[in-house]
Amino acid sequence: MAAALSYTGPFNDGTGRITYPFPWDKLNGKPIIYASLGTLQNGLDQVFKTIGRVAAGFPYYQLVVSLGNVLTPEMIGTFPEDAIVAPAVPQVEILKRASLCITHAGLNTVLEALTYGVPLVAIPITNDQPGIASRIRHSKVGDFVGLADLTDEALERIARAVLSSPLYRAAALRMRNAIEKADGLRSATECIHSVFGTRKM
């Protein structure tokens, strides 16, 4: 029997997430640049140092960083004064407020950013991340710079281009609409019931 493949979209309904404490009172009203390297590659201090130096050149934005539990802000030392840096942040709630997401191109962060129409700057590190970064560029929802090519100048150029061009935001919003229309959880549930011939509860 031939295998059947159904594209359903992300399975995220916003529930069942860990609640992290966050200093909401430190948000100053500026548009947010959110940066995260996920849970497995967050020990790359040089990447965070580059992000911190580049963010200093965007004074009209506030940087929010999910740093992980390997490094401390003191070990980085380049974050802007008004940056909010925490081991973990409520990612979905921050993405709802973000103008840009800087990511390692982990699939979870990318899909959550696009669920809320946030354009991306990717710094792919390993595994499937280079392929995901290529798809970010291809779909025009953002751009990427490879880890081997990461410099302050390269990251600043790409971040400035993504923030300044309405084309990236428009593409991210189209992707948001496509994700919403796909309704991944409902579609996946219907596929499972169809295969097993069961009735939806």
pLDDT tens figures, 94-113: 999 999 999 999 999 999 99
pLDDT score of 1 more than 50? no
| Per-residue pLDDT tens over the stretch 176-195 | 999 988 766 677 777 777 77
Listed by start position, the domains of the chain span: 27-196
Q: What's domain 27-196's architecture?
A: 3-Layer(aba) Sandwich (3.40)
- Overall average pLDDT of the 132-148 stretch: 97
Q: What are the structure tokens assigned to 108, written together?
A: 């979870």
Q: What is the pTM of this model?
A: 0.89
- Band of the pLDDT at 7, cuts 50, 70, 90? confident
The confidence score (pLDDT) of residue 15 equals 67
The confidence score (pLDDT) of residue 196 equals 75
- Overall average pLDDT of the 157-184 stretch: 93
What is the percent of the chain with per-residue pLDDT over 70, rounded to a whole number? 92
- Given a contact cutoff of 8 angstroms between Cβ atoms, the answer to whether 36 and 109 are in contact is yes
Query: What 3-state class would DSSP assign to 83?
Result: coil
Q: Average model confidence (pLDDT) for the chain?
A: 90
- Band of the pLDDT at 139, cuts 50, 70, 90? very high
Q: What are the structure tokens assigned to 190, written together?
A: 């219907």
d(CA 35, CA 198): 43
**CA 98 from chain center: how many Å?**
10
d(CA 159, CA 101): 9
- Overall average pLDDT of the 113-139 stretch: 97
- CA distances from residue 73 to 87, 95, 114 in whole angstroms, order as listed: 9, 21, 28
pLDDT score of 172 more than 80? yes
| Per-residue pLDDT tens over the stretch 26-59 | 999 999 999 999 887 778 999 999 999 999 999 9
- Give me the phi and psi of 18, to 5 degrees please: -70, 135
Vertex 65: Cα angle to 175 and 141 (nearest 5): 20
Smallest CA-to-CA distance from 104 within 113, 116, 96, 117 is with: 113
